Amino acid sequence: MTVMVKRSLGFDLHAAQPSRSRSDSPSALAAVSEDTIGVALMHGSGGLAAVARPMVDLGFDLYARRLGTMRIVPIQVKARASLESMQGYRYFNYLLASKDLQRDPSGFLIFTYVPWHRPEAFETVLAIPIPYFIRHCSRVVEDGVEYFAFRWALLGRGRKWLRFSYPLTELHGLWLQQLPAWRGGAAKIQLEIGREAPAPRDHRMVGSLAELFVAEKVQHAGGRNVMVAYDRVRMDCVALLVHDLKKHVVGGLAIYTGSLTKENNFRITVRASSFFADDLLWLIVLGHRKDGSYLDWSYVIPSSDVVKLFTKSPTADGGASYTTAVSLGRSKKFDPYKVATSDLGPVILDRVRAAMKHPSVKRFRRHIAA
């Protein structure tokens, strides 16, 4: 809190707020604060944390994920551009509608003050576990609507939230990296040192379209009970995160597609340098025709099965890859993973929800609650 007090006495807390129109301020403020937190986490991790953004805003704003694992911390970011005065003290006040708070027990609320006169966050932020916030935050009712009435005394008056304050620049090291969930076991298949050349531009376009296709299928199937998120910067094989807001479980999807040949097969290649196996990660394999349309059948494969279905081979540039050919109507080894492409969304959600029963996932949830 020392840094915060120095800034408040010097300039930020007593600066007059601008008189310009703020009709568009909520969305702009949200975007600035979310980007600031995301950048701080990624930069502070030195490349060890990935940060995903939801495609549709249904509560959570960011998903921090330990690279090479499915250890994920959902984050809701709440920001204010102005402070309020009371009895000579400056307060960060925030009314959060009870119905708008997602109650995932592994989630966190991050509160940040973003002064109007400069597009950057205050040097100190709060990262509060959602279960703790629900138990300890005061509540009020206005016009029949229940709100959490959050108050943070920036000048150090009151100690209720002090234990959750962190310097923004050290948010990864002092907060995220210290969470029991973040320090858990490593992936079953470790990431290797990346030496493969980047994928050609046309391959990236085909892959991006496949990710959007799968995201639409999952979001349509889950509706408002599911959030689909994508990594701000692709760091490993995970293309999408799927968060079931009712079951409180987050799964990952690595999406690969291949072009159907005249021999009625298509080839899939997975970079060894970016791949890992986890009980909450699945490979989604799609075959597509020359016109870009997808085949009637797709494949939902647990990441731990890749080693028995794919062949690991060295590449010309000194790296390695997992490769396989999916032969339609001939090869039977992929039949257990075969699903109708029209049912892809519901099937993926069923797999993610069923993973809650897996022992390793249960242990992970207990670590988060610690």
Predicted confidence at residue 344, as pLDDT, reads: 98
Question: Mean pLDDT across the stretch 159-164?
Answer: 84
* Residues 122 and 32 reside in one and the same domain: yes
Q: Which domain holds residue 104?
A: 2-178
| Least confident segment among 72-86, 135-149, 196-210, 236-250 | 196-210
224 vs 210: CA distance, rounded Å: 22
Predicted confidence at residue 203, as pLDDT, reads: 63
pLDDT of 300 > 80? The answer is yes
Predicted confidence at residue 7, as pLDDT, reads: 31
* Residues 44 and 163 reside in one and the same domain: yes
pLDDT of 286 > 50? The answer is yes
CATH code for the domain in which residue 365 is found: 3.40.1350.10
Handedness of CA 38, 42, 45, 48 (dihedral sign): positive
Question: Could you tell me if residue 184 is inside a domain?
Answer: no
* Residues 242 and 143 reside in one and the same domain: no
84 vs 190: CA distance, rounded Å: 50
* Residues 61 and 143 reside in one and the same domain: yes
* Residues 165 and 214 reside in one and the same domain: no
131 vs 157: CA distance, rounded Å: 23
The mean of the pLDDT values for the chain is 83
Predicted confidence at residue 63, as pLDDT, reads: 97
pLDDT over 70, % of the chain: 81
| Least confident segment among 34-38, 144-148, 358-362 | 358-362
Number of structural domains the chain divides into: 2
Question: Mean pLDDT across the stretch 273-277?
Answer: 90
* Residues 214 and 164 reside in one and the same domain: no
pLDDT of 184 > 70? The answer is no
Helix (H) or strand (E) holding 90: strand 89-97
Predicted confidence at residue 3, as pLDDT, reads: 30
Question: Mean pLDDT across the stretch 99-109?
Answer: 94
* Residues 246 and 115 reside in one and the same domain: no
Predicted confidence at residue 14, as pLDDT, reads: 35
Predicted confidence at residue 206, as pLDDT, reads: 86
Q: Where does the pLDDT of residue 5 fall: very low under 50, low under 70, confident under 90, or very high at 90 and above? A: very low
Contacts of 357 (CB under 8 A, 6+ apart): none
Question: Mean pLDDT across the stretch 183-199?
Answer: 51
pLDDT of 145 > 90? The answer is yes
| Least confident segment among 19-28, 35-44, 144-153, 235-244 | 19-28
Indicate the SS3 state at residue 126.
Answer: strand
Question: Could you tell me if residue 163 is inside a domain?
Answer: yes
Strand order across the beta sheet in which 311-314 lies: 265-271, 320-327, 311-314
